[in-house]
Amino acid sequence: MDYYGSDKRPWSSGQDPFSPDSSSSDSTPLFSSDSNGGGFDDLGGPEKPKKRKPMSPKGKNTLKVVALCLVCALIGGLAQPLYHTITGNETTIYTGSRTPTQVDTTAVDTSQELTTAEIYAKYVSSCVGITVDIVSTNIFGQTVTSAAAGSGFVITEDGYILTNYHVIDGANSIKVTFSDGQEYTATYVGGQEQNDIAVIKVEATGLTPVVIGKSSDMLVGEQVTTIGNPLGELTFSETTGIISALDRTITMSDGTQMNMIQTDCAINSGNSGGPLFNSHGEVIGIVSAKYSSSSSSSSASVEGLGFAIPMDDVADMVSDLVSNGYVTGQPLMGISVGDVDQSAQSYGVPAGAIVRVVTPGLCGEKAGLQTGDIITKIGDTEVTSSSELIAAKNTYSPGDTVTLTVYRSGETLTLDLTLEESTPEKEAQQEEAQKAYEEQQQQQLQQEQQQGSGGFSFGF
């Protein structure tokens, strides 16, 4: 059987594919020798080479014609072996008979396993490239506009698109491009930073949505495929690999811990937000991250370690985002936290989640939390970092009252906090408080830099 599965081998009848046609009585071997045997004599030394007669002009013309005929035959796609006589020797040259693959997307059935070509042909029109303009303020208080790129995929016929939250975070404008070159300006519907998912929408109808599968049905070793925009330039690239591991707990660059599918699909910057298909063409994950030996994804030196968010973990949240614009039932503490520096711990300050911002009017302020407090326990759960506090908080529901153990100015105290439900309005309040905190930090940094340079004199 050949590469394409054909049993029609040219030498199935015993004929050597590199030998002349045995049915021809005047043929000579393709590689000729003298009466002594091969190209080397019986003593192992090379025989004296014979002088070759120069090719006549007629022979040269014959060779040119034969070559031209061969090119024409190849272009014509002949499926039969081509026979030509070159300077008296009959030589057989075999051409392939493969017909180019034609994918009938109307006949694709996700109940059956699909080839990667079928997955691409069926769903490349469901995948999009996302480009955003991000407006931010640098440490000098200047407004800076930068661009970022990612991927996404259509989940409804009327224009809802799923991507990663970090792809559109801070976006001033969002542009979506389809494989046919059609571009749309998208609007932000809603997202959840903690689970790194976001829904955007374009004003279009009749789109081809993907089919959502169950990530819990996947097994290690099964084939998966992704379509995305690596580097933001190589648009609509398909890469294929396998499930390398399931239920990986990954710590993101901001300290957030997430459950992930591990895959060896080629994933690079720009692939974020793209779909991870199983062999049936169903989306079982959202491509989200690549392991890097440094803090910059663009300088990743580790290959074959990509991660995707399992669809089972976020499917209900996505439905909430489409219906309500936010994920319902999520608990809120009304604070922003960070990790306690190791240098501070060396002076007897306990490890925990240090409160950076207390949002006015929300439950954290009502419970009596203050900036600089270090939360070391929530309920009966010990807390040594901000990610541990967030993970413990998410085990509760809005309306639950939790007891916090807090270290403040050398003393330990307990506070009761009643969790609120997170809504877009309350998230906006927190973002505003966070922005004010960052501006204050920038001003403080500028003052420190000015004071540091004030002790120097120049011009003497």
In DSSP notation, 388-436 reads HHHHHHTTS-TT-EEEEEEEETTEEEEEEEE-EE--HHHHHHHHHHHHH
Q: Are 302 and 296 in contact (CB under 8 A)?
A: no
Residues with Cβ within 8 Å of 398's Cβ and at least 6 positions away in sequence, in order, are: 329, 330, 331, 332, 419, 420, 421, 422
Residues with Cβ within 8 Å of 434's Cβ and at least 6 positions away in sequence, in order, are: 336, 357
Predicted pLDDT of residue 80? 43
Please tell me what DSSP assigns to residue 319: H
3-class secondary structure for 98-139? CCCCCCCHHHCCCCCCCCHHHHHHHHHHHEEEEEEEEEEECC
Predicted pLDDT of residue 13? 43
Predicted pLDDT of residue 65? 42
Residues with Cβ within 8 Å of 176's Cβ and at least 6 positions away in sequence, in order, are: 128, 129, 130, 152, 161, 183, 184, 185, 186, 200, 202
- Residue 84 is encoded by which pair of tokens? 């030509």
Which residues are known catalytic residues? 166, 196, 272
- Residue 326 is encoded by which pair of tokens? 């936010």
Predicted pLDDT of residue 389? 93
Which residues of the chain fall short of a pLDDT of 50?
1-53, 55-87, 297, 453-460
Q: How far apart are CA 17 and CA 286, in angstroms?
A: 50
Q: How far apart are CA 145 and CA 149, in angstroms?
A: 14
pTM equals 0.66
Predicted pLDDT of residue 179? 93
Rg, Å, the chain Cα set = 34
